Structure 1
């Protein structure tokens, strides 16, 4: 975990080509942040922990990321740079169900859901984390709009259907159960959420007046 001349001269995260040392450093730091969130939660996450588990010296972490908030925000930024694409099952019904099931897969299992749940919890304690979480989900929902755009083109949804509102409506009841009422979610709940949104779409409820 020794600082090198390259570390001292390194630009901000993400400013080098994807295959360069900066990208590898960001990935190692991101993995350490996720591990720390899963094991200890946001309040107990420290720069020292990330340094120990990433192999990046803590002085480098402070210089590049500034704080735990900076580490958390960049981990979310890096996650948002992936190649994830929404499902394309050939029908609006199938796509909405698949989107709902992705929420269950990401958050439903306590082991796999620990890190993303901690990210959400951190947003209530850190303005910078909240901003990063907002940007992450704004991008995710923007990509998901293709599901509705394709449905309109196939005649499964009325022209003018608000794509952004539709894709948010699918996950909204699931997030309510996860983070507000603290109820479990499963495949049946996911199917119910998707079916309710599908019925509303077909009724024209998502076409602005």
Structure 2
């Protein structure tokens, strides 16, 4: 995901409807960052956005739908750039996207709030899954293209490779609470790439290697 603490530039064509959505999603992100998922309320979001409560309840209905829409918007911003290049370029761009997201002063707190809530709340977990399904799916397309070019073994699971690059970064920040930097991202890419070239992400071969 590209760095940037706020949802600047998310107003799409559509006049007032688009402006209302952008204001509400920005307010939702701000409330999540400050209060966390479990203290998020529709009324607080309405007040912060300067939008009538009836408008928010009519369009979104519940706080979970608000958070799901926010995560959808954030996922759109994390899409890979066109022409991402070689598989090394793709994986490094993906790792940098995660790095920038998690270390951003505002966005990182937002993501951490949803991740923390997802541990014990199935609705929050659903919103988080939707975010990562979208993000990983888009990045995996570029890995799949690299497989077709012969850069990785046939049958390599692009989505699993993208997850393998991202997972150490999340573990380092969310579990052991160690700082993240460019070196950390580069090491994650290098290790995942070695495994991918050895066939670890080809489902049948990967299973054999594990055995």
Superposition TM-score tier, normalisation by shorter sequence: 0.7 to 0.9
Does 1:144 find its partner at 2:139? Answer: yes
Aligned CA distance change for structure 1 residues 83 and 187 (closer, same or farther; 3 Å): closer
Does 1:182 find its partner at 2:177? Answer: yes
Could you tell me whether the CA contact under 8 Å between 2:25 and 2:70 is conserved in 1? yes
Aligned CA distance change for structure 1 residues 135 and 114 (closer, same or farther; 3 Å): same
For residues 32-67 of structure 1, give each alpha carbon's deviation from its aligned partner in whole angstroms, at most 9, with x where no partner exists. 011112233223322222112212112322333233
1:132 to 118, 127, 132: 127
Alignment of 1:1-209 (within 5 A): 18-81=13-76, 84-86=79-81, 88-209=83-204
Count residues with an aligned counterpart.
Answer: 193
CA offset at residue 89 of structure 1?
Answer: 4.1
CA radius of gyration, larger in: 1
With structure 2 as the length reference, what TM-score do the two structures score?
A: 0.81
**Aligned equivalents of 1:157 and 1:81: distance in 2?**
27
**Aligned equivalents of 2:74 and 2:151: distance in 1?**
32
CA offset at residue 69 of structure 1?
Answer: 2.4
**Aligned equivalents of 1:78 and 1:106: distance in 2?**
14
**Aligned equivalents of 2:108 and 2:76: distance in 1?**
20
CA offset at residue 166 of structure 1?
Answer: 0.8
1:185 alignment partner, SS class: coil
Aligned CA distance change for structure 1 residues 148 and 117 (closer, same or farther; 3 Å): same
CA offset at residue 78 of structure 1?
Answer: 3.5
CA RMSD of aligned residues (A): 2.2
**Aligned equivalents of 1:64 and 1:111: distance in 2?**
25
CA offset at residue 138 of structure 1?
Answer: 0.6
CA offset at residue 158 of structure 1?
Answer: 0.9
CA offset at residue 95 of structure 1?
Answer: 1.6
Aligned CA distance change for structure 1 residues 77 and 90 (closer, same or farther; 3 Å): closer
For residues 135-164 of structure 1, give each alpha carbon's deviation from its aligned partner in whole angstroms, at most 9, with x where no partner exists. 111111111112212222332101111111
